[in-house]
Amino acid sequence: MISPINNIARSASKQKSLNILSFIYDGYFDTLLCETFPQHNFYAPISDNNKPTGWNFKLCPQLPNMHYIPTISTTNIISKIDFDLIICHDRTSQYDMARHFANTLHINIIIVEHIANTKSIDLIGMIPLLKKTKNDTNVFMENIIEQFKLSGTVIRYGIPNLYCQKKKNQILLLNIDQQTIDTITPHINTPIVSHDIYDLTSEQYYSLLKESKFYFNLSAETNRIQLPVLHAMSAGCIVVSMSSPVISDLINHMESGIIIENMDDLINIWNDIDTTDIVKMATSANKYIMDNYDPKIFKQKWQDTLVKIANKTYII
């Protein structure tokens, strides 16, 4: 157990580099933090000696400042590292362990809430979880503070500017089953390019977005942002997406993208696609992402938050 006296003593010589115990959420977010802050070290607890499942290492490679702690406990490596803070993402499965280590190590927790829209979830069911963590620092990925009635910082994803005007007349589909492709193909004469995102490197992924004129999002996800939608809008793709509360917040129909309710909507809109000002739509989509998901703002807000929470550990 690291004593509070040790924390206070080392604060006098504290360097800019922080040691962060970061519970894993997904490859993109964790890689983004590591890439944005190469001066900090991130330590991810895992249950065995294997790399964490659910992380797409081809698309989001492990960076040098991401380390793994297998079979985490207070008696192994965690007691040998001077951690400055903890980041966790899931109030239902990660938080209890994070709180245990925070109490043991006398450090503070940042909880990242990845829900982007609360219109489709049961807030009554969320209240006990929110109350349990109310004394910790909340970082929200979207501005949903009013719905949650909690204080916190809004730090949206940092999305690079991928805008490209020279595009192939093709539709990009990611992780779409063949049955769905077979359903829409007879009604659309534009070439379709389909890929499993888990088979792509980051270079291949960004290249496909830059060169594709259209991106179809046919997922029914309702309360979390799908990063390919943000990336496609940044790249100047015309995003054609199934309707959801999150999509309605992101896209103005026929201004920065196209929102459909069903396949019949898709077919009807596609019959008139040649008369649609897709250049204006693509420009509008890119501007929205650049205005709201600036990587520089992401970096500055996260740096301020990390330093603020780390400094709470010490007497300075």
User: Looking at the structure, do residues 185 and 42 belong to the same domain, yes or no?
Assistant: no
Tell me the three state secondary structure of residue 20.
strand
User: Looking at the structure, do residues 56 and 150 belong to the same domain, yes or no?
Assistant: yes
User: Looking at the structure, do residues 251 and 305 belong to the same domain, yes or no?
Assistant: no
Q: How far is CA 42 from CA 58, 209, 212, in A?
A: 19, 30, 35
Measured distance CA(105)–CA(212) in Å, rounded: 49
Tell me the three state secondary structure of residue 167.
coil
Strand partners, 260: 242
Please tell me the predicted confidence (pLDDT) of residue 7: 52
Q: Which residues contact 97 (CB under 8 A, 6 or more apart)?
A: 23, 45, 72
Structural contact between residues 230 and 282, judged by C-beta atoms closer than 8 angstroms: no
User: Looking at the structure, do residues 276 and 134 belong to the same domain, yes or no?
Assistant: no
> For residue 24, is it within any domain?
yes
> For residue 46, is it within any domain?
yes
Strand partners, 216: 240
> For residue 116, is it within any domain?
yes
In 3D, which of 65, 64, 60 has the Cα closest to residue 17?
Answer: 65
User: Looking at the structure, do residues 153 and 179 belong to the same domain, yes or no?
Assistant: no
Q: Which domain holds residue 174?
A: 168-292
User: Looking at the structure, do residues 145 and 18 belong to the same domain, yes or no?
Assistant: yes
The single-letter DSSP state of residue 302 is H
User: Looking at the structure, do residues 142 and 188 belong to the same domain, yes or no?
Assistant: no
User: Looking at the structure, do residues 203 and 307 belong to the same domain, yes or no?
Assistant: no
Q: Which residue has the tokens 């992402």?
A: 289
> For residue 262, is it within any domain?
yes
User: Looking at the structure, do residues 37 and 174 belong to the same domain, yes or no?
Assistant: no
In 3D, which of 49, 81, 47, 45 has the Cα closest to residue 66?
Answer: 45
> For residue 162, is it within any domain?
no
Long-range contacts of 307-312 (CB under 8 A, 24+ apart): 307/18, 309/85, 309/108, 309/110, 309/137, 310/18, 310/84, 310/85, 310/108, 312/108
> For residue 279, is it within any domain?
yes
Q: Which residue has the tokens 């829900």?
A: 115
This prediction has a pTM of: 0.90
Count how many domains the chain has: 2
Please tell me the predicted confidence (pLDDT) of residue 61: 87
User: Looking at the structure, do residues 85 and 172 belong to the same domain, yes or no?
Assistant: no
Measured distance CA(307)–CA(316) in Å, rounded: 12
Please tell me the predicted confidence (pLDDT) of residue 148: 63
Please tell me the predicted confidence (pLDDT) of residue 68: 86
What is the signed CA dihedral for 94, 95, 97, 100, rounded to 10 degrees? 170
Look at phi and psi of residue 132 and say left if phi exceeds 0, alpha if psi is from -120 to 50, else beta: alpha
Q: What is the chain's pLDDT, residue by residue, as a tens digit (316 residues)?
A: 445 555 554 454 455 799 999 988 878 899 999 999 999 999 988 766 667 766 788 888 889 999 988 766 666 666 678 899 999 998 888 898 899 889 888 899 999 988 887 776 776 677 777 777 878 999 988 887 666 666 789 999 999 999 999 999 999 999 998 888 998 889 898 999 999 998 999 999 999 999 999 999 988 777 888 899 999 999 999 999 999 989 999 999 999 999 999 889 999 999 889 888 999 999 999 999 999 999 999 999 999 999 999 988 764 4
Q: Which residues contact 136 (CB under 8 A, 6 or more apart)?
A: 108, 109, 110, 111
> For residue 221, is it within any domain?
yes
What backbone phi and psi angles, to 5 degrees, belong to 215? -130, 125
User: Looking at the structure, do residues 38 and 143 belong to the same domain, yes or no?
Assistant: yes
Please tell me the predicted confidence (pLDDT) of residue 154: 92
> For residue 163, is it within any domain?
no
Structural contact between residues 215 and 171, judged by C-beta atoms closer than 8 angstroms: yes
Q: Give me the CATH number covering residue 305.
A: 3.40.50.2000
User: Looking at the structure, do residues 179 and 31 belong to the same domain, yes or no?
Assistant: no
Please tell me the predicted confidence (pLDDT) of residue 13: 45
